[in-house]
């Protein structure tokens, strides 16, 4: 952020209040991509008799295509499949979704360090919790419950509920609608440039917490960029409030 202080905001401007935090799931609440979704895609390819296996760098490239079914279909088309790519992608993705859900329900994932503490702190401060992901509800719902506990997440928007996936703002817009809040009353937490674009396009101040796949991406416009939730200055309700306020103050003053 620049060096303008809150006093630079236009006269008469009412400071927005932070009432909810909307979290992304993959890469944000948990490190699910490299050792979670990727092996599930590869096992699904194997079960469908396809000689395809995505290694770690290749999967990193493919993360630019959001949504598992779209990711498979794009890859198949890149590798010479014709009109049958869509139908095959749909079937492989159904298998992948079943496999990934099994992994979730058998306790295969833990939250990123610092996430449970942050969520507890937010709830204690009366800040509501929501989730916006491009993944499927069938695994996202049990995953979020396992990571954060039952009845913690008030609104859960998944890729099934929107016709356009991130970087389109649809998932975040729907989350705000279901929360009954304006964009200036919530803060998004994302791990990727695509997620940041989606949340920013919905009008949200966004904190980015990077991971190994996303650390080098362009996060211009973020309210803050960090590499972890925990550490010497852990993410907290107070920090979320401060980042939300400074992002909006900067914006209104500019």
Please identify, using beta-carbon distances, which residue of 77 and 251 lies nearer to ligand XBP.
Answer: 77
Q: How far is the CB of 192 from Mg ion (least distance, A)?
A: 5
- Sign (positive or negative) of CA dihedral 218, 27, 29, 134: positive
Q: Among ligand XBP, Mg ion, none, what does residue 42 contact (CB within 5–8 Å per kind)?
A: none
- Stretch 96-135 residues interacting with ligand XBP (CB under 6 A): 96-97, 133-135
CA distances from residue 230 to 113, 146, 186, 226 in whole angstroms, order as listed: 6, 20, 21, 10
Among candidate residues 3, 26, 31, 35, the one labeled active-site is 26
Which parts of 183-212 interact with Mg ion (CB under 5 A)?
A: 191-192, 195
From Mg ion, ligand XBP, none, which one binds at residue 37 (CB under 5 to 8 Å depending on kind)?
Answer: ligand XBP
> Measured from the CB atom, is 96 or 248 closer to ligand XBP?
96
The answer to whether 31 contacts ligand XBP (rule: CB under 6 A) is: no
Residue choice 103, 112, 166, 173 for contact with ligand XBP (CB under 6 A): 166
Q: C-alpha dihedral over 92, 94, 100, 106, to 10 degrees? A: -130
Short-list 108, 164, 156, CA closest to 133: 156
Residue 228, classified by CB atoms within 10 Å of its CB into exposed (0-12), middle (13-18) or buried (19+), is middle
Distance CA 155, CA 48 (A): 35
The DSSP line for 158-199 is -GGG-SS-TTSTHHHHHHHHHHT--GGGEEEEESSHHHHHHH
CA-to-CA distance for 184 and 245, rounded, in angstroms?
A: 9
Q: How far is the CB of 66 from ligand XBP (least distance, A)?
A: 4
User: CA 199 to CA 62: how far, in whole Å?
Assistant: 21
Q: Pick the closer one to Mg ion by CB: 127 or 189.
A: 189
In sequence order, what are the residues at sequence separation of 6 or more whose Cβ sits closer than 8 angstroms to the Cβ of residue 55? none
Q: Looking at 24, 31, 184, 191, which residue is catalytic?
A: 24
Catalytic status, residue 191: no
* Least CB distance to ligand XBP at residue 234 (A): 22
What CA–CA distances, in Å, run from 149 to 4, 8, 27, 29, 186?
40, 41, 18, 13, 21
- Identify residues 186-245 at the interface with ligand XBP (CB under 6 A): 192, 194-195
Binders of Mg ion among residues 11 to 30 (CB under 5 A) are: 24, 26-27
Count of residues of this chain found to bind Mg ion when the rule CB under 5 A is applied: 6
**If binding is defined by CB under 5 A, does position 31 make contact with Mg ion?**
no
For residue 157, list its beta bridge partners. 132
**27 lines the binding site for ligand XBP (CB under 6 A):** yes
Piece in contact with ligand XBP (CB under 6 A), picked from 24-32, 107-115, 202-210, 220-228: 24-32
Q: How far is the CB of 96 from ligand XBP (least distance, A)?
A: 6
**Least separation in angstroms between CB 253 and ligand XBP:** 30
The residues annotated with a catalytic role in the active site are: 24, 26
């Amino acid at each position: 952020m620049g060096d303008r202080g809150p006093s630079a905001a236009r006269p008469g401007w009412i400071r927005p209040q932070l009432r909810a935090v909307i979290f992304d799931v993959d890469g944000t609440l948990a490190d699910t991509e490299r050792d979670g979704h990727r092996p599930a895609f590869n096992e699904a390819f194997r079960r469908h008799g396809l000689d395809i296996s995505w290694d770690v760098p290749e999967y990193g490239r493919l993360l630019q295509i959001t949504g598992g079914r779209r990711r498979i279909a794009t890859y198949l088309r890149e590798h010479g499949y014709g009109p049958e790519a869509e139908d095959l992608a749909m079937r492989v993705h159904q298998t992948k979704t079943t496999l990934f859900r099994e992994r979730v329900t058998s306790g295969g994932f833990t939250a990123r360090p610092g996430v449970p503490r942050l969520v507890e702190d937010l709830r204690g401060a009366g800040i509501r919790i929501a989730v916006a992901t491009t993944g499927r509800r069938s695994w996202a719902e049990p995953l979020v419950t396992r990571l954060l506990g039952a009845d913690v997440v008030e609104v859960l928007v998944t890729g099934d509920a929107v016709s356009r996936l991130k970087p389109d703002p649809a998932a975040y817009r729907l989350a705000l609608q279901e929360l009954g809040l304006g964009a200036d009353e919530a803060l998004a937490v994302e791990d990727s440039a695509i997620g940041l674009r989606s949340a920013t396009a919905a009008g949200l101040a966004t904190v980015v917490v990077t991971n190994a796949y996303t650390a080098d991406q362009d996060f211009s416009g973020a309210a803050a960029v960090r590499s972890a939730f925990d550490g010497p200055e852990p993410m907290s309700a107070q920090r979320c409030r401060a980042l939300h306020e400074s992002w909006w103050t900067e914006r209104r003053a500019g």
